[in-house]
């Protein structure tokens, strides 16, 4: 498992200084079924907006 997950979405509650993700797990989905051809066809469903 990845030990250093990068994230540039600084309004996510899991975002940390240095563009690091502090979530316990990451859930990524594809727009095109269970396969993606590039990063534009995916989304991080772990995102939660900071309050």
- Position 14 scores a pLDDT of 97
Residues β-bridged to residue 17 = none
pTM of the model: 0.81
3-state secondary structure 31-43: CCCCCCCCHHHEE
Tell me, rounded to whole angstroms, the distance of Cα 9 from its chain centroid. Answer: 8
- Position 42 scores a pLDDT of 96
- Position 8 scores a pLDDT of 95
Split into its structural domains, the chain has a count of 1
Domain extent, residue 20, equals 1-51
Structure tokens belonging to residue 37: 């051809």
**Among candidate residues 8, 9, 5, 10, the one with its CA nearest the CA of residue 21:** 5
Query: Would you say residue 38 has pLDDT above 80?
Result: yes
Q: What is the residue whose two structure tokens read 């269970």?
A: 34
**Cα–Cα dist 24/31, whole Å:** 23
At 18-33, the pLDDT tens digits run 999 999 999 999 999 9
């Amino acid at each position: 498992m990845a030990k250093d997950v990068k994230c540039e979405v600084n309004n996510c509650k899991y975002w940390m200084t240095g563009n690091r993700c502090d979530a316990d797990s990451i859930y990524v989905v594809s727009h095109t079924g269970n396969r993606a051809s590039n990063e534009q066809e995916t989304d991080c469903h772990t995102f939660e907006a900071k309050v």
